């Protein structure tokens, strides 16, 4: 009998245990993060898509949302922005630390395209994967596992760059050994005149990386929350699990890990600049990222909604225009 897929054996039990521990008592009462005011959140949504980019008082003066009419436009524009930052740092003679996501992913081929077209090498770039699937103890998938984020980054970004690529010694992945050292490594780069760029997507429950909203309950103050640099074996929210079942596991919820290693606000909020992307449209009028996008831009910063802190930093957030709405009910 052939061996079962590693991910299936490893994670199915985690899903059941994690779901039960996340949802004690009534499902309706405990499903959403405890710090969410659903009425307030719903009131943020306008039926006028143009209102999405209306500036709020807490936005950084150099933060700008960027509308993209198609997925093709989104991937090119996001990739171009990342490539520009790499080229600019090289021209300035600066080291560049980049916290990088696996999702969205389509921009990486355009980063490669532009860097090759410009003949820009990445010897000055230090890549830090923002997260990685794990078990409850922070033990990650093997690097060559098809579901591993390290494998995805090597295949989509580092490998295709060829001779222009980031040196192997400057590629950092969120293993239990490497992740705790991120803060010191990034801090040293910034102290020596380098820059930190965080590239990110916004999760279904407004996480950044896998820094989930329910972590806020563990801290007495926002200041305490803000200094957390990372977490090993972070327990994921059920909506995060389902989001990834849709986007990465072809609907196989039973294969989605329920834990992950992740950077925290103590790293991504120290970014000199941010580059965000929201491309969560599914076609036929369906999407999953419209509400998180509106919350990110128009809810005041709140640890229960981690992505709300990103507009307080300089940078850009690229989004598919259809995510602006109107977000009205429709049967599909």
**pLDDT tens digits, residue range 20-76?**
444 444 444 578 999 999 999 999 999 999 999 999 999 999 999 999 999 999 999
For residue 133, pLDDT over 50 is answered with yes
Query: Looking at the 3D structure of the chain, how many domains does it have?
Result: 1
Handedness of CA 22, 23, 25, 30 (dihedral sign): positive
Write the CATH number for 178. 3.40.50.1360
Residue 58: Cβ within 10 Å count: 13
Residue 299 lies in a domain: yes
Q: Are 159 and 122 in contact (CB under 8 A)?
A: no
Residue 172 lies in a domain: yes
Residue 50: Cβ within 10 Å count: 9
d(CA 308, CA 310): 6
- Chain Cα centroid distance, residue 144: 21
Residue 271 lies in a domain: yes
For residue 1, pLDDT over 60 is answered with no
Residue 295 lies in a domain: yes
d(CA 295, CA 281): 16
Q: Are 202 and 103 in contact (CB under 8 A)?
A: no
d(CA 145, CA 5): 10
d(CA 179, CA 230): 7
Residue 17 lies in a domain: no
Q: Give the pLDDT mean for 122-137.
A: 98
Residue 87 lies in a domain: yes
Residue 29: per-residue pLDDT: 52
Among the residue ranges 11-20, 88-97, 298-307, the one predicted with the least confidence is 11-20
- Chain Cα centroid distance, residue 243: 12
For residue 266, pLDDT over 50 is answered with yes
Handedness of CA 317, 322, 326, 327 (dihedral sign): negative
- Domain that residue 87 falls in: 62-324
Residue 330: per-residue pLDDT: 85
Strand partners, 37: none
For residue 121, pLDDT over 50 is answered with yes
Decide: helix, strand or coil at residue 159.
coil
Torsion of CA 114, 119, 121, 127, to 10 degrees: 10
Residue 101 lies in a domain: yes
Residue 28 lies in a domain: no
Q: Give the pLDDT mean for 309-317.
A: 98
């Amino acid at each position: 009998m052939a061996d079962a897929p590693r991910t299936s054996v490893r994670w199915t039990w985690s899903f059941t245990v994690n779901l039960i521990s996340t949802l004690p008592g009534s499902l309706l009462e405990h499903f959403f993060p405890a710090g969410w005011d659903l009425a307030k959140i719903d009131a943020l949504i306008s039926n006028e898509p143009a209102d999405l980019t209306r500036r709020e008082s807490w936005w950084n003066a150099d933060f700008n949302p960027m509308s993209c009419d198609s997925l093709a436009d989104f991937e090119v524009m996001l990739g171009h922005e990342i490539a520009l930052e790499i080229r600019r740092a090289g021209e300035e003679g600066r080291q560049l630390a980049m916290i990088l996501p696996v999702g969205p992913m389509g921009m990486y081929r355009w980063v490669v395209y532009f860097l090759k077209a410009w003949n820009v090498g990445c010897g000055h770039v230090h890549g830090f994967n923002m997260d990685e699937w794990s078990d409850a103890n922070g033990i990650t998938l093997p690097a060559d596992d098809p579901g591993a984020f390290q494998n995805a980054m090597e295949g989509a970004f580092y490998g295709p760059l060829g001779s222009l690529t980031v040196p192997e010694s400057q590629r950092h992945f969120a293993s239990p050994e490497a992740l705790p050292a991120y803060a010191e490594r990034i801090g040293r780069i910034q102290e020596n005149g380098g820059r930190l760029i965080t590239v990110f997507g916004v999760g279904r429950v407004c996480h950044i990386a896998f820094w989930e909203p329910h972590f806020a309950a563990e801290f007495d103050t926002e200041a305490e929350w803000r200094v957390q640099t990372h977490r090993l074996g972070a327990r994921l929210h059920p909506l995060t699990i389902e989001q990834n079942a849709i986007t990465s596991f072809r609907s196989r919820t039973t294969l989605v890990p329920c834990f992950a290693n992740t950077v925290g606000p103590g790293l991504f909020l120290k970014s000199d600049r941010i580059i965000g992307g929201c491309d969560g449209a599914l076609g036929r009028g369906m999407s999953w990222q419209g509400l998180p996008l509106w919350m990110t831009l128009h809810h005041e910063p709140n640890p229960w909604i981690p992505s709300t802190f990103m507009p307080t930093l300089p940078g850009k957030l690229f989004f598919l225009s259809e995510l602006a709405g109107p977000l009205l009910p429709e049967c599909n």
